[in-house]
Amino acid sequence: MLKNIYLAGGCFWGTEKVFKILNGVTETTVGYANGHTENPTYEEVCTDTTGHRETVKVSYDTDRISLEKILTAYFMVIDPTVQNMQGADIGTQYQTGVYYEDKEDLTIIEKFFSKEKDKYTSFFVELLPLSCFWTAEEYHQDYL
């Protein structure tokens, strides 16, 4: 069965690269998630006024890869202890987050988050239903 999960991990170029190479991921698309403006541009998202996160839509085949494996890869490449930044990238668009479409995924994600939170004294990864996703400009797709 094909499903989607949306992962904000800082700059979407590097985040997308991680998931493109996972066996079972069928497609990745970079874009902007869960903000309050329609069809934002990269320049608008970088103003810290849209509420959008740089996010990767990860489409995957549940017969070939589990959501747990995808989340394991995700937590290997992010720093969950910082807010509104990853590495040298600072701004609200770089906030980490997991955004789901399917309520059935929430139980899996919450269980995974619970284990991850036990590893850190601070934890800032958002966990929310997907409210919107706007595909980023073509020049951002498959950048790396």
Residues tagged active-site: 11
Dihedral class, residue 87 (left if φ above 0, else alpha if ψ from -120 to 50, else beta): left
How far apart CA 44 and CA 42 sit, in angstroms, is 5
List % helix, strand, coil for the chain (3-state, nearest 5).
30, 30, 40
Which amino acid belongs to residue 131? S
Residue with structure tokens 């747990």?
68
How far apart CA 75 and CA 5 sit, in angstroms, is 14
